[in-house]
Amino acid sequence: MPGENIIRKGVELKALTTMKTGGPAAYLVEPSNEDEIIKLLRYAQAKSLEVFILGNGSNVIADDEGFDGLIIKLGNNMSELIVDDDPEDPDYSFITAKAGCLLSKLGNTAASEGLEGAEFACGIPGSVGGAVFMNAGAYGADISDIAVEVSYIEDFKLQTRVVSKEDFGYRTSFFAHNGRIVTSLKIRLKKGDKERINEYVRELRDKRTTSQPLTVPSCGSTFKRPEGYFAGKLIQDSGLKGFSLDDSGAQVSSKHAGFVVNNEGKAGSEDIKRLIRYIQDKVYEDSGVRLECEVRFLGGKKEQ
Ligand SMILES: Cc1cc2nc3c(=O)[nH]c(=O)nc-3n(C[C@H](O)[C@H](O)[C@H](O)COP(=O)(O)OP(=O)(O)OC[C@H]3O[C@@H](n4cnc5c(N)ncnc54)[C@H](O)[C@@H]3O)c2cc1C
């Protein structure tokens, strides 16, 4: 297999996901460059191995039975970040980051360079690739506001796309289709007042710490925001804030009803999924709104 030197067998997915669930992956490789990814994809196709692209695992519920295929994890080995001036406009700079770079690093680098617009990214615990795929966002801004170019692999070829708002939707993007693999993101930011930018980063961090259960395993918001509603409010109105079905560890957070948490990391993905289905049914019964999962599922049956 390409990347034989770095291939790992039977890695427990619970160690690679923030929800802390998931059994072993048959194969896991952390490639260092785009060529290696393409070789891995060809290998997987030749061997009929299912492939899953994993970033920082902060929006993935991995199956208790694990994954009988190849996980391509884009992380530290592909995490270079470069800051450049915009040669056409001295008021702007570009930052180009590889898919495995942490989104928080992108946001924090922008802030320390005195560049505005990426403050929202500082508190999101994903990778750049996962954030492009999901069009991650918070506090009124998302990736679509800052992205100018995305490189990705499709049909075994590395391509670059100049992107616009139309390439992104609410927690989705052009890159979430057709097996595309994001390999890097280029953003363009305006030079601003460094002190004010850092103050805003601190303000958002404080808001997050006050309102979200950040010390307990979770995937952040479990559900997408239904049009015209807030998922957390609907769940709370159904009396489910702090609710658990049993003592498995799966619980609706008592701090933020939009988060399903895995207390002490002791619940399995089946426990979490059972609670998710319960919440969906109860909220639907009470409000007529069907909550759709924002979290993604790795392995197992794709029923949600
Ligand atoms: C405490 C907490 C707070 C959070 N707050 C927010 C928030 O404010 N806003 C928000 O939007 N999200 C939030 N999230 C969710 C999560 O951090 C984001 O969805 C993030 O973008 C996921 O990135 P990741 O690298 O962890 O992706 P993963 O969880 O590894 O993967 C998510 C999906 O993206 C795909 N993927 C990952 N990398 C690539 C790639 N390079 N190419 C193609 N596909 C890829 C995976 O196959 C999977 O389908 C939060 C999560 C937690 C745990």
In tens, the pLDDT along 82-140 reads 999 999 999 999 999 999 999 999 999 999 999 999 999 999 999 999 999 999 999 99
Report whether residue 135 contacts ligand 1, using a CB cutoff of 6 Å.
no
CA atoms within a 13 Å half-sphere pointing along the CA-CB vector of 86: 16
> φ and ψ at 152, to 5 degrees?
-155, 160
For the 79-210 domain, the top CATH level (class) is alpha beta
CA 19/CA 304 separation, integer angstroms: 17
- Is it the case that residue 206 has pLDDT exceeding 60? yes
Q: What is the pLDDT of residues 135-194, one digit of tens each?
A: 999 999 999 999 999 999 999 999 999 999 999 999 999 999 999 999 999 999 999 999
Residue to mutate, 13, 58, 215, ligand 1, most ligand atoms under 8 Å from C-beta? 58
Element spanning 221, H or E: strand 218-221
- Sequence letter at residue 45: Q
Q: What would the mean pLDDT of 7-24 be, rounded to a whole number?
A: 97
Element spanning 197, H or E: helix 194-211
CA distances from 104 to 17, 93, 125, 216, 294 (A): 17, 18, 7, 19, 20
Residue nearest to atom 14 of ligand 1 (CA): 220
Report whether residue 37 contacts ligand 1, using a CB cutoff of 6 Å.
no
Residue 53 CA, closest ligand 1 atom number: 47
Report whether residue 173 contacts ligand 1, using a CB cutoff of 6 Å.
no
- Of the candidates 171, 173, 225, 269, the residue annotated as catalytic is 171
CA distances from 209 to 212, 259, 264 (A): 6, 14, 19
User: Is 171 annotated in the active site?
Assistant: yes
Q: What is the pLDDT of residues 20-71, one digit of tens each?
A: 999 999 999 999 999 999 999 999 999 999 999 999 999 999 999 999 999 9
Report whether residue 55 contacts ligand 1, using a CB cutoff of 6 Å.
yes
Please state whether 282 falls in left (phi above 0), alpha (psi between -120 and 50) or beta. alpha
Report whether residue 16 contacts ligand 1, using a CB cutoff of 6 Å.
no
Nearest 5°: CA angle at 177, between 118 and 145?
20
pLDDT band at 304; cut points 50, 70, 90:
very low
Residue nearest to atom 38 of ligand 1 (CA): 130
CA 191/CA 209 separation, integer angstroms: 28
Domains of the chain by residue range:
4-77, 79-210, 213-298
Domain 4-77 annotated CATH 3.30.43.10: yes
Given a contact cutoff of 8 angstroms between Cβ atoms, the answer to whether 78 and 56 are in contact is no
- Which tokens hold the place of 13? 């997915």
- The predicted pLDDT at position 301 comes to 67
User: Is 221 annotated in the active site?
Assistant: yes
User: Is 294 annotated in the active site?
Assistant: yes
Report whether residue 144 contacts ligand 1, using a CB cutoff of 6 Å.
no
Q: Which is it for strands 24-29 and 8-12: parallel, antiparallel or unpaired?
A: antiparallel
Q: What is the pLDDT of residues 227-268, one digit of tens each?
A: 999 999 999 999 999 999 999 999 999 999 999 999 999 999
Residue 132 CA, closest ligand 1 atom number: 21
Domain 213-298 annotated CATH 3.40.50.300: no
Q: What would the mean pLDDT of 196-224 be, rounded to a whole number?
A: 98
